[in-house]
Amino acid sequence: MKILLSPTLEAIERLHVIGLDFVNSEGLKKSIRLKLLFGVFDFVAKAKVFNMVQFNGAYGCPTCVHPGVHRNNRHLYLLCSTYPLRTLQSIEAAQNKSNETGAIVDGIKGKSVLHGYLNLVNDVPPDYMHCVLEGVTKSLLMFWTNSKYRREPFSIRQHLYEVDNALQAQTPPTEFTRSPRSLIKDLSYWKASEF
């Protein structure tokens, strides 16, 4: 990742420090400066950019220091408030210790390519597609439509066919990559763009 991003980060840093001079259409000399404000990555790329264990490994959560549990060939991070959130100080301490020892520390393998360019805690938001769309939203829809919970107040089982028909009757603009699919038959196969 360092080989890929370093030239871009160095160019952005030069544009921040030195700037870019140009003459505008009115003949006036102008100077602009560029600063990297944040970075957006999916889970796989974030692990590589942060130089840490992926989401499917121990301490692979980029938000907190949670070891996770391994069940049924999957690595899960169960909801728990006892694990501390990662801070810039804790990430930098783990990076330094990892660089000194050569060992993975709290999921951190060493310095991030973004070190010195971005605050890894505040400037890199959670992955919307995986966390929100394919995570929370999909889980909620599964609960709302699951027959196991049909007697719960949150269940929409009694209205499922009505909702499904209304959903499939939608005709989205051509910019949408997928036509609406059935909540009843296809929900477990929905892609992020369908939520």
Average confidence (pLDDT) over 160-189? 91
Residue that the structure tokens 């970075």 belong to: 39
Give tens-digit pLDDT for 91-127: 999 999 999 999 999 999 999 999 989 999 999 998 8
> What is the structure's pLDDT at 137?
92
Q: Which residues pair with 85 in a beta bridge?
A: 64
Distance CA 94, CA 111 (A): 9
- At residue 79, the pLDDT reads 78
**E strand or H helix at 144:** helix 138-145
| Residues 122-149 pLDDT 10s | 999 988 888 888 889 999 999 999 999 9
pTM of the full structure:
0.71
What is the predicted pLDDT for the residue at 82?
85
For residue 2, the model assigns a pLDDT of 83
pLDDT in tens, 3-52: 889 899 999 999 999 999 999 999 999 999 999 999 999 888 999 999 99
pLDDT per position as a tens digit, 66-99: 998 888 988 888 777 788 999 999 999 999 999 9
Nearest alpha carbon to residue 121 among 85, 156, 150: 85
